[in-house]
Chains A and B, each alone.
Chain A
Amino acid sequence: MALEIRDIHKRFGPVRASDGVTFTVEEGSLHGILGENGAGKSTLMKILSGFYEADSGEVVLDGEVLHLRSPADAIDAGIGMLHQDPLVFLPFTVLDNFALGSPGSMRLDRKAAEAELMRVSGELGFEFDPERLVRDLTVGERQQLSITRLLWLGARVLIFDEPTTGISASQRIQLFDTLRTLAAGGMIVLFVSHKLEEVEALCDSVTVIRRGKVVYEAEMPVASETLVEKMFGNVFVEEERTTVPLGDAMLRVEAATLSEGTTRIEGLDLGIARSEVVGLAGLEGSGQRTLLRACAGLIQPESGSLSVDGIELTRASYREHLAAGVHYLPAGRLEEGLVQGISIAEHLVLASDDTAFFVDWKAADARAGEEIDEYSIKGLPSSAAEELSGGNQQRLLLAMIPDEVKLLLLEHPTRGLDVESAAFVWTRLLERRNHGTATVFASADLDELLNYSDRIIVFFAGSVFAIRTAAEIDGEELGYLIGGKVRA
């Protein structure tokens, strides 16, 4: 059995997301698909899994040309995909998630389905409580559930799209073991990632994709420099860490108890200095968001106190925090940052502190033009937010941050951005840092955390697990801490 991808083309408007992709993967191999964000990996995988239809080209499995018009066709052909954000139904039980979409008789025999769930998950070494709500599972467990389901449905080809996002070090080790076992059992496993070290650690062979084209194919191991060069087109020089001397205290949290949903952070003492950058690490939903939201005034501490630059804000509302110089940038750019149908110029008017009743649209357009230049946003003052790419949306959000911000709170500031935009975002953030802004950011990207933080706060299971300065921690240790383990 072999999976052959022959000359796949797929265009989105002017963008050639897949531009003649051809490669072959042999049975029993763990094959890496490497490329930076936006290189076209996801599009290709969605074509393989039937989510998108290719404009032209063929997918051949075991000598048979597949007609992939929908995920149903892909599943029938034995191709299963794990999406980056596992596509599960949060309010349903584990068992219902397992059974949903499965073939079989009209009547749903939950007993039989449960037996199957237990059998297949047992073979993989996973454990599930069938009656638990998927809402209460970690991202890693949701992934395990999806793997179990796909194998039960008879998948021969398994695609993993950036599967290590949001899972702990120990879950990652378990995931990699599972992947190796699956490949050893004769399956084809495609491991899609933009993380070099993961592909190096795991894969037997690799295909590098850049701008919708296959630029490199090789059996592993390959020198890292070669892969980096193929991924980015030139050798990417890691940015030199810069620091500035820290100032006096900007954010002061004392004996604070924060609680939101199932997250509860007790007795938190935290001081963040002017010009300090603090990274929040941890699995998704471990409490980072709760701390950010508390600092932003979106939830109030149950006890303790919180002040910014000497201003008491413990019981203050979100808008009072804004007025005190706190700015919060959540992860969902188009959901909790920008407004659809509103233009760049209008966004800047909304974000400015000018409260004149009548808007001077000429001045607003001029100002938008300046910001567009300053932040290299690809768009016009009249472009609506949803017309911008993710990178440009993030640039607009940066442009909307008021000049004299004291405390900047960011969630995943570079998630989904290409390398250039990500670097740009940090350049601007560090400029603000240089002018005294204290920065707190949550990220799932260990490199980002290690590169930019002065201190890293690691959350585990809804509370602060460890606090380390950047100097005393490395990637390996951070990975362990995120998984709730202290390295021996």
Chain B
Amino acid sequence: MTRVRAAVPTLVALALALAVGVALLLVVGAPPLETFRLLVEGSFGSASKISATLLAWSPLLLASAGLVVTFAAGLWNIGVEGQVIMGGIAATWVARTVPGPGWVLIPLMVLAGAVGGLLWAVFAGVLKTHGNVHEIFGGLGLDFVAAGLATYLVIGPWKRAGVASTSGTDIFRPEAWMPEFQAFGVGWPVIPVILGLLSVLVVWMLLRGTLFGLRLKAVGSNPYSSFLLGIPTNRYMLGAFAIGGALAGIAGTVQVAAFHHKLVPAISGGYGFLGILVVLLAGFSAVWIAPIALFFVGISVGSTQLDLQLGLDSAFGGVLQGIIVLFVMFGGAWSVRRASGRLTPQEEP
């Protein structure tokens, strides 16, 4: 009963978010019902669409899992986008330079992606711990640098033979493609999905059952108390950056090895920032990451159909996601305020 009641503000928030979405559609003169039908159909309407949605789900899971770790350490890892990109770049480098069969190449690409994302994240971490630059600005700056680097590589050193275009590098040789598993007439992204779900599981266990996770939470809540308790706080913060960055980097590998099969300038697919929304909506806990990420990625994938079918800008998906997160945050805060009564602390100060 209390569980049901606890869900009420969230449900109300979702309903309100939906109402705002409908209102926006009416403003631009789009048919709301048809739009939502297309959203669902575009993401779950057929086997191939479900497969595409699952393929998009995986990097989002990886990025979100990594963000749960950095958030636990009290860090705003806005640099996650750049970490996904650097993972993609590192994996592309392996795909382009290392010879060998797929069973060697793919693990190497995953490893390279992890290292690429890790280094980029630790860079932002060192700027924070040793340069006093808040991770929001360090991370954000590095996001744009990574995006610039990807563009530079695509039109420069790694350009397609003869043409320098922002449409991407040459397609990888088949050994560098993550294998799909055929069923129901389409290929299924089994490896990416396993990587994604595994990352969520590992992060959940790390934070729930280990001393590392407990210390990380302590550092995130009160770095100075933690330091006095004997926890090397800088090392733990950098550790959180490293884990978060490695997982984001693997998301980059998935993007190049399973989706694009080449490097494109917008390789991150926005999954880093979307991951932040997912984790905010999940209340910073790993438990609800998987379903929420699936819901969000469904909106993202489905909304690409809107442009084709209704001539509606696909940004509608992003608008809907943003409104949902905002309203659910409001709903949660509102119910906390109500439960605790009007401005009453627990005890006399």
User: Are chains A and B touching in the complex at the 8 Å CB cutoff?
Assistant: yes
Name A's B-contacting residues (CB within 8 A). 12-13, 15, 17, 38, 40, 42-43, 318-319, 322, 328, 330, 335-342, 346, 349-351, 355-359, 361, 387, 389, 400
Q: Is B144 in the interface zone, CB < 8 Å from A? A: no
Q: Are A339 and B226 in contact (CB under 8 A)?
A: yes
Q: Are B222 and A330 in contact (CB under 8 A)?
A: no
Q: Are B347 and A339 in contact (CB under 8 A)?
A: no
Q: Are A15 and B348 in contact (CB under 8 A)?
A: yes
Name B's A-contacting residues (CB within 8 A). 209-212, 214-215, 217-218, 221-222, 224-232, 344-348
Q: Are A359 and B211 in contact (CB under 8 A)?
A: yes
A355 to B214, CA, bound (A): 12
Q: Are B210 and A342 in contact (CB under 8 A)?
A: no
**Residues of A with C-beta under 8 A to B231:** 350
State whether A350 and B228 are in contact (beta carbons under 8 Å apart), knowing that A356-B211, A358-B210 are contacts in the complex: no
A339 to B215, CA, bound (A): 10
Q: Are B347 and A13 in contact (CB under 8 A)?
A: yes
Nearest chain-A residue to B205 (Cβ)? A358
Number of interchain pairs (Cβ within 8 Å): 77
Closest-CB distance, A207 to chain B (whole angstroms): 19
Q: Are A359 and B214 in contact (CB under 8 A)?
A: yes
A336 to B306, CA, bound (A): 53
Q: Are B229 and A351 in contact (CB under 8 A)?
A: yes
Q: Are B209 and A358 in contact (CB under 8 A)?
A: yes
Closest-CB distance, B345 to chain A (whole angstroms): 6
A355 to B229, CA, bound (A): 13
**Residues of B with C-beta under 8 A to A12:** 344-348
**Residues of A with C-beta under 8 A to B218:** 339, 342, 346, 350
Q: Are B230 and A322 in contact (CB under 8 A)?
A: yes
Q: Contacts A12-B347, A335-B224, A336-B225 given; 19 further ones with Cβ under 8 A?
A: A12-B345, A12-B348, A13-B345, A13-B346, A38-B348, A40-B348, A319-B230, A328-B228, A330-B228, A336-B228, A339-B217, A339-B229, A340-B221, A346-B214, A349-B211, A349-B214, A351-B229, A358-B210, A387-B346
**Residues of B with C-beta under 8 A to A357:** 210-212
**Residues of B with C-beta under 8 A to A351:** 229
A339 to B221, CA, bound (A): 6
Closest-CB distance, B332 to chain A (whole angstroms): 16
Closest-CB distance, A390 to chain B (whole angstroms): 9
Closest-CB distance, A53 to chain B (whole angstroms): 9
State whether A359 and B225 are in contact (beta carbons under 8 Å apart), knowing that A38-B348, A319-B230, A389-B347 are contacts in the complex: no
Main secondary structure of the interface of B (DSSP, over half): helix
9 contacts between A and B (CB under 8 A): A12-B345, A12-B347, A15-B347, A15-B348, A328-B228, A335-B225, A337-B228, A350-B214, A400-B229
**Residues of B with C-beta under 8 A to A42:** 348
Nearest chain-B residue to A346 (Cβ)? B214
Q: Are A350 and B215 in contact (CB under 8 A)?
A: yes
**Residues of B with C-beta under 8 A to A349:** 211, 214
**Residues of B with C-beta under 8 A to A337:** 225, 228
A12 to B224, CA, bound (A): 30
**Residues of A with C-beta under 8 A to B222:** 335, 338-340
**Residues of A with C-beta under 8 A to B215:** 350
Nearest chain-B residue to A18 (Cβ)? B348
A319 to B212, CA, bound (A): 17
**Residues of B with C-beta under 8 A to A350:** 214-215, 218, 226, 229, 231
Q: Are B348 and A17 in contact (CB under 8 A)?
A: yes
Nearest chain-B residue to A338 (Cβ)? B225
Q: Are A13 and B344 in contact (CB under 8 A)?
A: yes
Q: Are B217 and A341 in contact (CB under 8 A)?
A: yes
Closest-CB distance, A296 to chain B (whole angstroms): 8
**Residues of A with C-beta under 8 A to B224:** 335-336
A254 to B222, CA, bound (A): 34
Q: Are B211 and A339 in contact (CB under 8 A)?
A: no
Nearest chain-B residue to A319 (Cβ)? B230
Q: Are A43 and B348 in contact (CB under 8 A)?
A: yes
A40 to B348, CA, bound (A): 9
Nearest chain-A residue to B223 (Cβ)? A339
**Residues of B with C-beta under 8 A to A355:** 211
Closest-CB distance, B226 to chain A (whole angstroms): 6
Interface centre among B226, B228, B346, B348 (most CB of A within 10 A): B348
Closest-CB distance, B232 to chain A (whole angstroms): 7
Closest-CB distance, A330 to chain B (whole angstroms): 7
Nearest chain-A residue to B211 (Cβ)? A359
**Residues of B with C-beta under 8 A to A336:** 224-225, 228
**Residues of A with C-beta under 8 A to B209:** 358-359, 361
Closest 10 CB pairs of A and B: A339-B222, A339-B218, A17-B348, A339-B221, A341-B221, A322-B230, A339-B225, A12-B348, A340-B221, A336-B224
A272 to B228, CA, bound (A): 23
**Residues of A with C-beta under 8 A to B345:** 12-13
Nearest chain-B residue to A12 (Cβ)? B348
A340 to B217, CA, bound (A): 10
A55 to B226, CA, bound (A): 39
Question: Among B217, B227, B344, B346, which residue has its beta carbon within 8 angstroms of that of A318?
Answer: B227
Nearest chain-B residue to A340 (Cβ)? B221
Closest-CB distance, B244 to chain A (whole angstroms): 20
A275 to B346, CA, bound (A): 39
A400 to B214, CA, bound (A): 16
Closest-CB distance, B342 to chain A (whole angstroms): 10
A12 to B344, CA, bound (A): 6
A452 to B211, CA, bound (A): 38
**Residues of B with C-beta under 8 A to A322:** 230
A40 to B230, CA, bound (A): 37
Interface centre among B221, B226, B227, B344 (most CB of A within 10 A): B221
A264 to B138, CA, bound (A): 37
Nearest chain-A residue to B219 (Cβ)? A339
A389 to B224, CA, bound (A): 21
A409 to B197, CA, bound (A): 48
Closest-CB distance, A29 to chain B (whole angstroms): 27
A335 to B227, CA, bound (A): 12
**Residues of A with C-beta under 8 A to B232:** 319
